[in-house]
Amino acid sequence: MYKDLFIDFDDTLYDTHGNAKLALAELFDDFNLGRYFRRLEDFTVPYWQTNVELWGQYARGEIDRPYLIVERFRRPLSCGFESPGVPFAPTAEYCLEVSDHFLDLCADKPGVVEGAHDLMKYLRAKGYGLHLCSNGFHEVQYRKLRASKMEEFFDNVILSEDAGANKPLRAYFDYAMEKTGAKVETTLMIGDTFDTDILGAKAYGLDVMFFNRNPRTFHPSEPVNFEVHSLHEIQDIL
């Protein structure tokens, strides 16, 4: 039935969250952020809250990349203190320095979601056209692909910066279809982010497979063609 698979990368195949947790701990030490925060969690909790919010805005085209890069560190860093009762006020230049170091730390982490390599070997052996579809930054995504030894599996890498639009926008999927030569009726989108991966692809007319990593707390607001809770389950379907 399906000939081509559009597959999200971050937190679908690549353990973005787990690798970022390691990188944030290293960042905390490398920048001596203990001067401003009593505990690592005092920095990382607002970081994750901010990051989720900003990536959602970025996907919807409400903010651009430079704003995201600075703001996702400015806000959590501003929760620190220089002295009792006096907040830390990081400059844009400092936030860029922190961001560049963070991305370097993240990009070289090899961690993948459990079963990722087995799944990709299986899908490659089955003869599917395999196309990575991501909103991630160009230079970072290719480094992560190499670090995780997943670059070899993909026929195409379709990034939002190249498409000139983010998932879930129609223009992103227009670009993906043109680049891959895939047909709507024989293409399946696989991803873990419901708003961008699943709703975007579904609105375009693609069949969708939702990798729901938190089935106890997240329930899809719209029906999907397939829902899985582990990568291993995908091999039973495709």
DSSP SS3 for 132: strand
CATH of domain 4-15+111-236: 3.40.50.1000
Q: Which residue has the higher pLDDT, 65 or 121?
A: 121
Predicted pLDDT of residue 15: 97
When pLDDT is averaged across residues 85-114 and rounded to a whole number, the result is 93
Q: Among the listed ranges 78-92, 137-151, 179-193, which one has the minimum average pLDDT value?
A: 78-92
- CA quadruple 41, 196, 143, 120: dihedral positive or negative? positive
Looking at residue 100, what DSSP letter applies?
Answer: H
* pLDDT class of 42 with cuts at 50, 70, 90: very high
Mean pLDDT across 38-57: 95
User: Which residues of the chain are in CATH 3.40.50.1000 domains?
Assistant: 4-15+111-236
| Measured distance CA(212)–CA(197) in Å, rounded | 12
**Mean pLDDT of all residues belonging to the chain:** 95
Residue 144 — very low, low, confident or very high, per pLDDT cuts 50/70/90?
very high
Confidence of residue 88 (pLDDT cuts 50, 70, 90): confident
Say yes or no to pLDDT of 76 above 80: yes
Model confidence at 162, pLDDT cuts 50, 70, 90, reads very high
Q: What average pLDDT does the segment 171-194 reach? A: 98
Instruction: Return residue ranges of the chain for CATH 1.10.150.240.
Output: 17-107
CATH architecture type of domain 17-107: Orthogonal Bundle (1.10)
